[in-house]
Structure 1
Amino acid sequence: MLIFLRRRILSSALPLLVVILGVFFLARLTGDPANLYLPLSATPEMREAFSAQHGFDDPLVAQFGDYLAQLAQFDFGESLRTAQPADEAVLRAFPATLQLAAFTMLYAIVGAVLVGCLAAYRPNSLADRIASFLSATAASTPDFWFAIMGVLIFAVQLEWLPTSGTMGASAWVLPVVTLMIRPFGVLVQVVRGAMLSALSAPYIKVARAKGAGEARVVFGHALRNAAAPALTVAGDLTVGLVNGAVVVESIFGWPGIGKLMIDSILQRDFAVLQAAVLLTALTIFVLNILIDIGYALLDARVRQGALA
């Protein structure tokens, strides 16, 4: 297992470096921060002093070298907007995104397991056809469209839910449902397909012949063997939630890492943007490692391949 982890860590080092390189240079294409932070009447001397103070007058290659040197010392720079360490702003926003992703995936997994198992237990039944139709619709629904429609219908017209914020349980409904709809639809299809294969396996017939109850057969035997592909897909969807919450957080004013990235781009706050992207990339890297470990624990063939 240690050899397997070492291989995964080494294979992920290059993509992580590419992310750091890309965000550093692409952020500079958004424009000169002096145009935002200095008045329109600023003289050329004031602009030069601003650039020199923040190191923007150096060549980009030299700036990138200084950035890497700072990273080696766990120094993520200083926010242009607040003059505070960039990592502090990121660490304040990141828990909100993690909480949103955690609740979303919890509800999506529980709902998908129940619906997927029900659909697979009676294939081609009315419940199976309804579950297949709803899951396909949910999996193909764009998050941003559903978010806008949710705000328009439930917040503006019906006034049942708030349009933004985090105060109270009602403020969580639209963001969680918006993020949950696609993972739920995908997972229902995955669980249904895996359960159909598991329920037709010989060991299920043996379990029923021994007098095992249907609940034990479905959730104790079949679901355990169908969990491996569902876990892999759920892990990938979780990574997508952390990485793709930018639009949803911006629409609902959710104070998470996605909204912080958008604000940092608009405000050309390079240090905060770089810290946010780096922390997100590291989180995705750790999640992928945990997914691989969980998959190896569920499937002995993966463990044997990891040890080979």
Structure 2
Amino acid sequence: MKTMYNRREALKISLLAGIGLSFQSFANHLKTNDKILTRTIPSTGEVLPAIGLGTWQTFDVGNSSAQRKVLSQVLNEMYRFGGTVIDSSPMYGSSEKVVGDLTSELGFKNELFYATKVWTSGKQVGIRQMEASMRKMQRTKMDLIQIHNLTDWKTHVKTLKDWKEQRKIRYWGITHYVDSSHSSLEEIIKSERPDFVQFNYSIRSRHAENSLFETARKYNTATIINQPYESGSLFRLVRGKELPQWAKEYNINSWGQYFLKFILSNENVTCVIPGTSKPHHMMDNMGAGLGQIPDGGIRKKMLSHLKTL
């Protein structure tokens, strides 16, 4: 019988079986002996773990104690593996408050990199929303605030630049999630010089390679990647499919790592933020930041194989 690799069994079948460790001992082994890939924020030279955590839908759990308990484990696993970046937004329901409540209970809360967004129109309304976000996330100073989907960006960019000067925030940025907005992101990068730009990019959705990555590189703008799994469609594509045998030679132990390692093989990617509400998926995601990162030849091989499925 062939071994089938899928997201739900990522660790049981791939990671743990490969090294013969229990779930907990694998985590301890990883934190002690392996170094998660890091990338540099161009505007400052600060080093950032290349894999973080998105909270769209996954952290919108309100006051559910059972779900919050599991999400706390997700945060612990992210940090255990060397991750720090948590990305949220007022658009994400209760996610900001859940992040704030859960991280406030962690001993490493001040070692994390907190990112959220402004998602409204009007200067004063935007200021009130950002202040509310900081209260919900329990931060007196936010690491990064981004303009969500470019909503009223000309207004908010002025506020964010002022806030950075006042040291209310460390960085500011802009975001979107569709190819058709890439040209707008580029124009804003050229004119306003944000510290970060967040956009969609995946093994099958590579429009950003046309010019957006190069523009970000030229203007010293860090890149955060959303939609790395294309809202789950990549996993549906490979459901029931066997991971190619050659993948393990490149430290690719699951389909999730296959997709993330491809993204990380682009040196212009600063950080990718897959969302999850499951600790073992968090472990699998972080595993993509370990070991060999595919070079140009392996990237082509990964692309070619995916086209055969």
On whether the aligned pair clears a TM of 0.5, the verdict is no
> Which has the higher relative contact order, 1 or 2, with Cα contacts under 8 A spaced 6 or more apart?
1
| Structure number with bigger Rg | 1
- What is the TM-score normalised by the length of structure 1? 0.22
Tell me which protein shows more helix as a share of its residues.
Answer: 1
Tell me which protein shows more strand as a share of its residues.
Answer: 2
- What is the TM-score normalised by the length of structure 2? 0.22
